[in-house]
A and B are shown apart, each in its own frame.
Chain A
Amino acid sequence: MPEQKPEERRKNFNEVPLGYTPEMAIAEAKRCLQCKKPACVEGCPVNVRIPEFIKEVSEGNFSEAIKIVKGTNSLPAVCGRVCPQESQCEARCILGKKFEPVAIGKLEGFVADYEREKEHLPAPELKPATGKKVAIIGSGPAGLTVAGELAKLGHSITVFEALHTAGGVLVYGIPEFRLPKKIVSYEIEALAKMGVEFITNRVIGLSETLADIMARFDAAFVATGAGLPSFLNIPGEELQGVYSANEYLTRVNLMKAYKFPEYDTPVIKGESVGVFGAGNVAMDSARTAIRLGSREVHLVYRRSRDEMPARAEEIHHAEEEGLIFDLLRNPKRFIGDENGRLCGVECVQMELGEPDDSGRRRPVEIKGSEFTIDIDVAIIAIGNGSNPILQKTAPDLQCNKWGNIVADTETMKTSVKGVFAGGDIVTGAATVIQAMGAGRKAAKAMDDYLSTGNW
């Protein structure tokens, strides 16, 4: 697929891939072998009927194709962009054994974009109203999936969102250049057209508890996400210029600090930026810093390249854009100037020792190898815990030792009758599509519960 050149895209927040033309999509779709037992479908957490939709694409029937995709995936324009296809559907593609696998994700994105830009399919037909009221707490990918599925079945849906814009991590976390926000708002508008009510600026668990919600609704789905940033717990983290990735990305994405001062929210545009961590959020943060005009951006990671958890495509894109990989380096302390502003980070060099519990070789410090990198912005992207607000005032809701809500893996039922949960609040930080997979399972079980009353 054609892409913006690295030297161009370093300076803007537009999407990196430029998208298929219809001819290119048809040509790519024709590569599909139409396997009788499609392994790709098993590789998809929501089991999109992949060969069927690709066959329609190959024949130029894009409207039919999107209907098939939407049958099991309510957010295809999002998934086509942010799913890790290389470890899911495309990893199972037979063609991939000898050649490149079919670009399933790109085709999914293409048909979704076609629908949004050219076709404007009418809202799906809703089943007759059941009179059952469902509360969804959190409007990220898990919550939106449940909202869509249950609205189609005729239930009355209210989504509560703490921020002023619905979408959760899709709007505050994932940058514009990976997922344009107009795509997310289009999906939310589509749900609103189906009758889903969105109440923004509302935090559940403070004034109103889960019990208050259950007194007003027949069932609830808790999808409050992994919103508790982890810090490195090293000296100097209070300095100006030290950000959690959540704060940095929220400022730039949700609050549009990249358009400051047209938008009022600022972010420090560092001359030299250090990003700590090596997952997708670290890549998003680093590539954002590059686009904000930083002279150099360092990725500081205590293991080696092979252990980096980010998607290969993200690492590749970041490297093309000029990210400096400081691998086998561990931060020891942040250094500030007399005004409390960050000016450097002291690191120590590491070497790989014996494998640890995760099977990855454990990084070990090389004594006496301390050195300093001059940075004026630090972005800490080493993961997130579960947001505890709702659980604190819901004593009957069972959680594990990390604070994640305990839910049945098939039905997503929690320890409280009528309450289901899914997404990062159950699994810990994971992917958009895994959250959507949980949402689909929950929606099915919630519909059963609402129809039968059996818990």
Chain B
Amino acid sequence: MSTFLQQLINGISLGAIYSLIALGYTMVYGVLKLINFAHGDVYMVGAFMGYYLANGLGVRAAQAIGMSANGLVARGLLGSGDLQPSLVTALIVMLLAMAICAALGVIIERLAYRPVRKYSRLTALITAIGVSLLLENGGQVVFGADPKFFPELFKKRNIDLVGGASINSADVVVLIIALALMIGLQLVVYRSKTGRAMRAVSFNLQSAKLMGINTDRIIAFTFALGSALAAAAGVLVAIRIPRIDPLMGILVGLKAFVAAVLGGIGNIPGAMLGGLLIGITETMVVGYLSPTYKDAVAFAILILILLFRPSGLLGTVAQEKV
């Protein structure tokens, strides 16, 4: 039982990260009907930006900033006095990485995707693969191909729970931040004017244009939003497992995409659900079967979904109009 509980906790934490990335896939697919293969690599860039920011700000200097806030955030969120106040540092690093990646997303959209939007979808797909490889290989040249170790932004410790399981404070932080981001996204998409425009564009781009929506701006905004979430996921992953390398985005990106398909591509709550399910299934396989095949799980799920419910769990079957 305690193993199950432990794996469930790990799975939810991992799944929250998949969800964040899956949201970017699903939103871009919603507005452009494009599988943005480069999304997983934006997540990688996010982790590296976090790494350089954390080192650049100087963890110690940043700790000083955190000190002045006197750990208010940490105490307020967790009600535990032992956490290092540098949790604020983690937030600052994450927000900056998100801003940088949002800019990166907009640049990618502007320079690579917008010029090919007038061609076929296949062309856009190939361009996306090109961008993905450019980021991976460019990353290997710029960041170096060796794995890097993410500095510890706050002190981690295990918190014992009932039933023999324990939860790491890093997982708690990951869950809280992921939840906050998802709630924020819901607010943006369903409560703001831009969000309404986004939904209009994803419903029908041409009509949205006719209604006076600046579709180019909305698409760029979607990329910014998705990329920012991916960057947040990158920093959160690095907080959980501090080993980062330029190719880390490939498999995670693939799994997140499967999560988006599982939930119903284009469907925002679906992406969150799909990410959680993939994360939990994966850790269960690691816990009860063999860790070797954890990368095969997502693929098996994908095949099953395509066979039995191609529109995804929460997706609706779109009627094709001629």
Q: Do A and B bind each other?
A: no
Binding site for A on B (CB under 8 A): none
| Chain A interface (Cβ < 8 Å from any Cβ of B) | none
